Amino acid sequence: VLVKFKLRQAYEHAQMPVIVEDTSLYFEAWNNLPGPFVKFFLENLGVSGMVKALNEFNNNSASAVCCLGFTKDGESMQLFEGKVKGNIVDPRGSQHFGWDSIFLPAGHQKTFGEMSLEEKNKLSPRGAAAKKFMHFLTL
């Protein structure tokens, strides 16, 4: 829904084909909050505060999701989603990108913040969404 709104806004402004994206972080224990509001949670709680608040729920399952949207005409919209399941952990590694230091992808030993750019790009929800979009463009 948010990406569709962004697409409409961007198309109204540009009056030409546009691409928009939204990257969100969903906590299972919080009924999928913070979701697209993660930026505001980070600004007000910080990564450590988010982890501390989540610890009270005894469920640290999370999903990192990127939705990329494309429209040629402002009406017909294509959405492409990339999703990585994982857990929220105490901050480890770089805090260069918002919540990277607290997101531990399922089946991995390093948080996104501890991974090299090459390692992270192999798992990136944004990269997965972009691959789906590129496939769409080649059809």
Question: pLDDT tens digits for 97-108?
Answer: 889 999 999 999
Closest CA to 70 of 137, 120, 138: 137
What are the structure tokens assigned to 119, written together? 């390692």
CB 105 within 8 A of CB 85: yes
Residue pLDDT, tens place only, 35-90: 999 999 999 999 999 999 999 999 999 999 999 999 999 999 999 999 999 999 99
Question: How many C-beta neighbours within 10 Å does residue 121 have?
Answer: 11
